[in-house]
Amino acid sequence: MKNLLLYILLTLSFAVSAQEKDKTLPEANEQYSQKQFVDAEANYRISHSKFPKKADASYNLGNAIYKQNQNSEAKFAYAAALANTKSKDQKHKAFHNLGNVFMKEKNYSEAVEAYKNALRNKPSDEETRYNYALAKKMLKENPPKDDKKKDKNKDKKKDKDKDKKDDKKDGEKDKDKKDDKGKDKEKPKDKDGKNQDKPEDKGQPKPKPGGISKQRLENLLDAVNNEEKKIQDKVNAQKAKGKPVQTEKDW
């Protein structure tokens, strides 16, 4: 019995102390009615900091901020009020004013949802119904930008960039192949600088260098060097031909 009485006394003392402490809320309401929105905002913030679970200070704070054209900040205050209230009337007012914020921001899709939620809590409010119809009309006339289309265009650009890179790689591969092909055309040489041609008949012996005159040998060497130069020029031409062309396109 004593414990029950103690519990009742503590509950009453907490309730009385809570009422006594929140003196800033009525003062803020008075400042708001006098259109002193900056002073009202300051006191609403003090009230909200002392009683963060009470929805009145948050809702009125949103109104004071909204009157100062700070739309984005007002949304957070209304969201806090919605999180801390179970009253349908308070929810209706918070959603209605939240819809007004979205309308100012030209975010018509969010405005439609906010007014819809306001009507769910108070279907008889004609002002909310009018705003809801207006938001739907504005949304129809100003549809949101298609983000998927943007993503699709980005993907197309990525694919084209990838194709350019692949073409560049293929060009480098072709160049390497042509380089190898040009190298294959160069005939192997022995230590004296002569071409080591394969004999048509494997059974035939190769001629000895000693059987050729010195002048003839020099002429052959000159011929080999000239042929080698022609082959090298051809290889260089093929390299230049196989080099990929860099192109830049404006998009």
Q: Is residue 96 within 8 Å of 131, Cβ to Cβ?
A: yes
With CA atoms as reference, report the closest residue to 51 among 27, 96, 20, 29: 20
Token readout for 119 is 């009507």
pLDDT at 155 > cutoff 80:
no
Token output for 52: 């963060």
Lowest mean pLDDT among 53-57, 95-99, 174-178: 174-178
Quickly state the pLDDT bin for 203 (edges 50, 70, 90). Answer: very low
Residue with tokens 């020029």: 233
Q: What 3-state class would DSSP assign to 125?
A: coil
Lookup: tokens for 170: 């293929």
Residue pair 90/83 in contact by the 8 Å Cβ criterion: no
Q: Is pLDDT of 37 > 80?
A: yes
Quote the percentage of the chain above a pLDDT of 70.
Answer: 53
pLDDT of residue 239: 60
CA gap 249, 179 in Å, rounded: 30
Question: How far apart (Å, rounded) are the C-alpha atoms in residues 215 and 228?
Answer: 20
**72: pLDDT strictly greater than 70:** yes
Tally of CB atoms within 10 A around 101: 23
Given a cut of 60, whether residue 10 has pLDDT beyond it is no
Write down the mean pLDDT value for the chain: 74
> pTM for the whole thing?
0.52
> Kindly report the CA angle at 45 between 122 and 86, in degrees rounded to 5?
30
State mean pLDDT over 60-81.
92
pLDDT higher than threshold 90 for residue 199: no
Q: Which residue has the higher pLDDT, 96 or 196?
A: 96
Residue 133's nearest CA partner among 105, 101, 99 is 99
Find the mean pLDDT for residues 71-86: 92
pLDDT of residue 215: 65
Quick one: pLDDT at residue 42? 93
| Mean pLDDT in residue range 175-197 | 55
Range in 26-30, 38-42, 47-51, 197-201 the model is least confident about? 197-201
| SS3 state of residue 195 | strand
Say how far apart CA 150 and CA 156 lie, in whole Å.
10
